[in-house]
Amino acid sequence: MSGFALQSHAMGKRVAVRRHGLIVRITHWVNALVWVFLLMSGLQIFNAHPALYFGQQSNFTHPFLVMGAANDNPARGMTSIAGHSFDTTGWLGVSYDESGEPVERGFPRFVTWPGEQDLATGRRWHFFLAWLFVINGTIYLLSGVLSRHFTRDLLPSWADIRHIPRSIFDHVQLKFAHERRYNVLQKLAYISAALVALPLMVLTGLTMSPAMDAAFPWLLEVFGGRQSARSIHFITAMFLVLFLFVHLVMVLISGVFNNLRSMITGRYVVEEQAHDL
């Protein structure tokens, strides 16, 4: 990995190294843009029936998750998860329209695409963006395999695994070492998102398609039915939202400029001891 010295210190130097290749950077930004509108159009589709079930068919009497207005008050939003209900007025179940009137709606309009309730348009956007997402992800995966990006940069070593407690302790204390390689928590997070959650999203999305079920009937068996696939699809999406939130927070508190520069130009500034240079 190439680099050049930026500033000398008594104990070492600040060095700019090339951390991200061109394909990684391009696919990262394409994925970021596509993912936002893919999520928003997916929430638009979810709003057409804001409930989740497990199994082949919808069990309206025992939903795993449901959002809507309270039975005793149409202006109060309620979200129920595994039989436990929460008042989520203004955010989930019931939100307010432009005139200030309460409207029964799973997710509010500002997080769906399009904003108004329009299932047909939401489905068209979602399917179009899904193909862009798959094509972009395939390019990233092939590039990662050919360049050994996964084995070299993302696959944790046994030394990394042993360092997990220390890495957690450092993160809790907001101590971030600017190193050439990802730390073990970054590796585990990126692997869980890029190589587990995202492929799972694609497979469960395909399982919800009757045409794909006809061509690949084993998908229904793997995921336990179309409704189970829909629930797993939704839960995985929420996991990725959490991942994105944590990712953005870590970018902010560990050095915005350095992190953005690495994903735009490929160069990342690290601090190295003099005997390592």
In a domain, 80, yes or no: yes
Q: Best-predicted range by mean pLDDT among 39-48, 63-72, 82-91, 179-188?
A: 39-48
Domain holding 63, by residue range, is 58-106
In a domain, 68, yes or no: yes
Among 201, 273, 187, which Cα is nearest to 239's? Answer: 201
Q: What is the pLDDT of residue 6?
A: 44
Specify the range with the lowest mean pLDDT, choosing from 15-19, 82-86, 231-235: 15-19
Give tens-digit pLDDT for 108-167.
Answer: 999 999 999 999 999 999 999 999 999 999 999 999 889 888 888 888 888 888 888 888
Q: What is the pLDDT of residue 5?
A: 42
In a domain, 241, yes or no: no
Q: What is the pLDDT of residue 179?
A: 64
Q: What is the pLDDT of residue 182?
A: 80
In a domain, 2, yes or no: no
Give tens-digit pLDDT for 63-116.
Answer: 999 999 998 898 999 999 998 999 999 899 998 887 888 899 999 999 999 999
Res 273 pLDDT > 80: no
Could you give the percent of the chain with pLDDT greater than 90?
A: 55
Predicted TM-score of the model (pTM): 0.85
In a domain, 15, yes or no: no
Give tens-digit pLDDT for 109-123.
Answer: 999 999 999 999 999
In a domain, 125, yes or no: no
Number of domains in the chain: 1
3-class secondary structure per residue, the chain: CCEEEEEECCCEEEEEEECCCHHHHHHHHHHHHHHHHHHHHHHHHHHCCCEECCCCCCCCCCCCEEEEEECCEEEEEEEEECCEEEECCCCCEEEECCCCCEEEECCCHHHCCCCCCCHHHHHHHHHHHHHHHHHHHHHHHHHHHHCCHHHHHHCCCHHHHHCHHHHHHHHHCCCCCCCCCCCHHHHHHHHHHHHHHHHHHHHHHHHCCHHHHHHCCHHHHHHCCHHHHHHHHHHHHHHHHHHHHHHHHHHHHCCHHHHHHHHHCCEEEEEEEHHHC
